[in-house]
Amino acid sequence: MEKWQNKIAVVTGASSGIGEAIVKSLASYRLQVIGLARKVEKIPSCEGRVTAIKCDISDLDEIKRVFKEIEEKFGIIHILVNNAGVSLYKNILDPCDEITRRINQVIDTNFKGLVHCTREGVQLIKKSNENGVVINIGSILDTIIPFPNPSTIYPATKHAVRAFTEIVRQELILTGNEKIKLCNISPGVVKTNIAKACGRENPEEHYNSLPHLESEDISQSVIYVLSTSHNVNVTQITIKPVGERF
């Protein structure tokens, strides 16, 4: 990780769970970290190595504003970790307006926001003319949908993220930008606050009934990807807790 010391990493969804763990891990290896989140006050400072910026990833105008701010303050970045995500534990065929709003929020945050953060972030990595990495935090649900599926529209967004990761990797090769690597990380069940935040009943009981990972397990996988040689592109990592049934 010495090659990344004092390089600049952007992490979305940085205020809790997996994003918070990734921010702390990167800062511990002496990277300059820019954490993006709606609840900006909850982003860890890590002894001054983290710059916290308020950003709603579901809002394209806000994404553009924030990356312009990053460019003005830092000039370039080297690493982008797209982690921000929300879920929905309601039937998607319910015609009520609130479900429509929530479905759009999941799609806008998990996929559309990730797409536009990648588009903005890659421009700043290119500007560095150095090696760079984009890491997308997906889900095991990007390939497997258990029955019954409690998280409804969420797996569809993660399927899209996995496909998008490969599409961008190929486009970078075709446009002569092979210094930038892409990786999709697909965790199994991770104990975070996403279930509670998205309305799942009895989230603690849910996690306690299943083998699960901790946020730090995912941050370790991010460090692994970054630790590989620049000529090695780990394109996909799937992580399951021991004993996971699907």
CA 242 – CA 79 distance, rounded (Å): 30
List all residues 6 or more positions away from 26 whose beta carbon is below 8 Å from its beta carbon.
9, 11, 33, 79, 222, 223
Q: How far is CA 218 from CA 58, 61, 104, 153, 154, in A?
A: 23, 29, 27, 23, 19
Alpha carbon 77 to its chain centroid, in Å, reads: 16
DSSP-derived letter for residue 75 is S
Q: Does residue 154 carry a catalytic annotation?
A: yes
Q: How far is CA 41 from CA 51, 54, 240, in A?
A: 11, 9, 31
CA 87 – CA 107 distance, rounded (Å): 9
Q: How many CB atoms lie within 10 A of CB 88?
A: 21
Q: Which of 29, 154, 207, 224 is catalytic?
A: 154
* Catalytic positions: 154
